[in-house]
Structure 1
Amino acid sequence: MRLEPLAARTKRKFPRIAGAGICCLDHIFVTPQIAWGGTARVEEYRVQGGGLVGTALVACARLGASCFLFSFLSHDEVGAQVASELAAEGIKLEGVAGIPQGTSPFSFIHVDSRSGERTIFHRPAAGLERAVLPDLGRIAECDVLLVDDYYPELALAAAGTAHKNGVPVVADLTVSLSKCPDLFREINVLIAPRAFAAQIGYAGDLPGALQAIHRLGPETALITLGREGYMYSSVDGRGKGKAFKVAVVDTTGAGDAFHGAFAYGLARRWEIERCAEFAAAVAAIKCTKPGGRTGLPTLPQTIHFLERNGRLDWSDLKAG
């Protein structure tokens, strides 16, 4: 499926974006370093919702989109807090299925206070074998679907529903091709980290990696490079962009913010180059505050940032 079906949809001022994937709880602690075998003083500690699709949808909601989540949570304290935070952001949760007698996923995240880089220690959800897929019908009413591969069966079913209804699919995948190989054929836009290039045999050859991604199925491929920016390839050509320079406090959730903002741009039918620069701006702003969601900006905040730092012309966005 190509991206043209989106152009036939009625343009909405507030796009509808669905997400199918993980939402979890993050315990974030900041130290200058981890003293393995010793004791390290924690400079800052906070608990907030996280997860690839969960945080990406929060980014979309802050920008003004109507968002719908499809995921799994247990009826435990973690699940209750995760759901409460998402609902407070205005995200619709009727697509979140319960995990009977299970546990919701959570993470401990160490942030190096010197660089802002993070390391994640993740505890997966338990009891999924007893969970039933949620009703995915609402996806047909949306402009874009975001997926990750944390719940492969859910991702494949959601992407298939989107595909049948002409809804473009933007994917945020981990570095395992074997986890959900059939999913690639349902994806329109794959946004992957540099490590993905190495995993498919193209370490040090990013243009080759982009073409390899096309052969897997997605017609648009983008590789994020952290502080070095990003490269992309689509049916309209290739391009690259630089990361915006900001005072980095915490990189937790930067990739999730990028994916969410890119999906927002795609829902507004922007060109890939424009989606990518907008996404880079949202991710950069996010990194200026601690936690995966605290720094996620609103649309006016993003416009203001792009007016001062963007390479493209964003004056039309300010006009609405």
Structure 2
Amino acid sequence: MYDYDLLVVGSANADLVVGVERRPGAGETVLGGDLAVHPGGKGANQAVAAARLGARTALLARVGDDGHGRLLRDSLRSAGVDTAAVLTGGAPTGVALITVDPSGDNSIVVSPGANARLTEDDVRAEVLGAARVVSAQLEIPPATVAAVVRALPEGTRFVLNPSPPRPLPGEVLAACDPLVVNEHEARVLLGDEETGGTGEPGEVPADPADWARRLLALGPRSVVVTLGAEGALVCDASGVRAVPSVAVAAVDTTGAGDAFTAALAWRLGAGEELPVAAAYAARVGAAAVTRRGAQESYPTAAEVAALDA
């Protein structure tokens, strides 16, 4: 019997958000709206998103002994996340600096803070073994993610969103079931030297199905490529399949990918096949972009059902 449906191992940040008419270019200053402070971080976001949907969820993370850390703990607990494994100290709480334009698109800079102090020594096998599924991201040290993979008990599923993207060791790729990427993350993992069919070095080929197949060839057991309003693609040994999304008016895309990954991981742990779980996750992500912020935008299961009706 598992204590948790999902254990998230990852970051917890305070999101400092400013609305802008357009995002600045290099060397440019633009005026924005009032600053808003929200609980965020890819790890905390995933944990809150899953708990809102009804999953028994825990978070393994590290925050500072400061106001931002208390904000995060309060948000996690109010959503129903078990915070027993949220550690304190080592550095100030991580901060994400976010600009959001009128279309809802965002740009993000992260100061890791305490997230960078979540080490291999903080990874405890008994915590990992209490969950059906373990989900991770890359806003914590890569060595910590590798330690999670090495400590995974037999039968525990591992889901990874490699964000921010960077090269992954073979042992981590081999554990991913699935590896969840957006367009940018897919391009980085596939490298900048793909020819795109031109014979010249350049961008990765523009066909997302090709991205999925190429990523699968790197070693993960399955791959999901998220495509925003276009839904997603799922890929495993049986091939590539498209998963539709739901048409909504996007207000703010901040944290929508985290909601997608959390919902996907939870439904996979409940025994759903990858395309079915991804279809549900696409609806969760669609619901999340209809409200501002990250964690405060995440829907309940009833709200997802209403969106799909």
TM-score class, shorter: 0.7 to 0.9
**Percent identity of equivalent pairs:** 23
Mean Cα deviation higher: 58-67 or 14-23: 14-23
1:50 aligns with 2:40: yes
1:77 aligns with 2:67: yes
1:196 aligns with 2:195: no
Deviation at 1:177, TM superposition (A): 3.6
Contact 2:42 2:137 in 1 (8 A): yes
How far apart, in 1, do the equivalents of 2:250 and 2:47 lie?
22
Match of 2:108 among 120, 128, 145: 120
Matched residue type, 2:113: A
Contact 1:55 1:293 in 2 (8 A): yes
Q: TM-score, normalised by structure 2?
A: 0.86
1:156 aligns with 2:158: no
Q: Could you list the per-position Cα deviations for residues 183-210 of structure 1 after superposition, in whole angstroms to 9, with x for gaps in the alignment? A: 2122111110112332214431433322
**Structure 2: runs of 5+ lacking an equivalent:** 195-203
SS at match of 1:294: helix
Aligned length: 292
Q: Could you list the per-position Cα deviations for residues 92-127 of structure 1 after superposition, in whole angstroms to 9, with x for gaps in the alignment? A: 122223333x122111211112x1111112212159
**Structure 1: runs of 5+ lacking an equivalent:** 1-9, 309-320
Match of 1:89 among 79, 88, 98: 79
Mean Cα deviation higher: 275-284 or 31-40: 31-40
Contact 1:58 1:293 in 2 (8 A): yes
How far apart, in 2, do the equivalents of 1:243 and 1:221 lie?
17
Residue 56 (structure 2) aligns with: 66
Q: Could you list the per-position Cα deviations for residues 191-234 of structure 1 after superposition, in whole angstroms to 9, with x for gaps in the alignment? A: 10112332214431433322222222212111112222221112
SS at match of 1:122: strand
Matched residue type, 1:133: D
How far apart, in 2, do the equivalents of 1:260 and 1:127 lie?
19
Q: TM-score, normalised by structure 1?
A: 0.83
How far apart, in 2, do the equivalents of 1:41 and 1:156 lie?
39
How far apart, in 2, do the equivalents of 1:65 and 1:130 lie?
24
How far apart, in 2, do the equivalents of 1:95 and 1:53 lie?
12
Matched residue type, 1:170: V
Deviation at 1:267, TM superposition (A): 1.5
How far apart, in 2, do the equivalents of 1:64 and 1:126 lie?
28
How far apart, in 2, do the equivalents of 1:272 and 1:138 lie?
25
How far apart, in 2, do the equivalents of 1:242 and 1:193 lie?
15
- Say what the alpha-carbon RMSD is for the aligned residues: 2.4
Contact 1:34 1:40 in 2 (8 A): no
Residue 272 (structure 1) aligns with: 274
Match of 1:263 among 258, 262, 265: 265
Residue 243 (structure 1) aligns with: 245
Matched residue type, 2:7: A
1:174 aligns with 2:126: no
How far apart, in 2, do the equivalents of 1:122 and 1:109 lie?
9
Mean Cα deviation higher: 172-181 or 280-289: 172-181
Contact 2:23 2:100 in 1 (8 A): no
How far apart, in 2, do the equivalents of 1:140 and 1:93 lie?
16
How far apart, in 1, do the equivalents of 2:48 and 2:70 lie?
17
Residue 146 (structure 1) aligns with: 135
SS at match of 1:62: helix
Q: Could you list the per-position Cα deviations for residues 224-258 of structure 1 after superposition, in whole angstroms to 9, with x for gaps in the alignment? A: 12222221112343211233211111000010010
Q: Could you list the per-position Cα deviations for residues 55-86 of structure 1 after superposition, in whole angstroms to 9, with x for gaps in the alignment? A: 11111100111111111112122222112211
Residue 40 (structure 1) aligns with: 31
Matched residue type, 1:53: G
Residue 5 (structure 1) aligns with: none
Residue 214 (structure 2) aligns with: 212
